[in-house]
Amino acid sequence: MSKAYGRLEIILKKINFIEEIIVDNGNITNALEDEKSARAAMMMHFTSIAEQFNKLAKDGEFEILQEFDKRDLKGAYDMRNYIVHDYEGLNLSVLDMVIRQKLPIMKETIKQILDI
C-alpha cells in the first residue's frame, strides 16, 4: 500500500468517525451543539482530514488530488485554519453544510480511488 493510499484511508476513517459521532448524538444539529464533547471531537477529525490532504499535496500526489474538487480541498484547509485560529468564531451552519454535502462526496471519491 502506498503512502498516499494510507493518507486516504486515514481521511476515510475520520469521516466515518464524524458520522458515528452524529449517530451517537441523534443528528448533526445535536452533535454541533454539544460543545463539550461531540463538536470538539468532530473539529479534531476535520483538522486531521485537512492535514492529510495537505500532506498529499506536499508529497506531490496531484493525480490523486485532481479527483477532488479544488474548492473542496481549499475549503478543508480553510476550515482547519478557522478551527485552529478562531475556534469560537466557527459558523455552525457552514459545518452543517460541509457534513451534509461535502463529506459524502469526499467519502465516495476516496472509496472509488481505493476501490472499496
pLDDT for residue 78: 85
Query: Which residues form the domain of 12?
Result: 3-114
- Check pLDDT > 60 for residue 1: no
- What is the spatial distance between Cα 86 and Cα 92, in angstroms, rounded to a whole number? 13
pLDDT of residue 37: 96
Torsion of CA 36, 41, 47, 52, to 10 degrees: 170
Q: What is the pLDDT of residues 9-52, one digit of tens each?
A: 999 999 999 999 999 999 999 999 999 999 999 999 999 999 99
Residues 71-96 pLDDT 10s: 999 888 888 887 877 667 778 898 99
Band of the pLDDT at 104, cuts 50, 70, 90? very high
Please count the structural domains in the chain. 1
Euclidean distance between CA atoms 88 and 82, whole angstroms: 9
pLDDT in tens, 45-56: 999 999 999 999
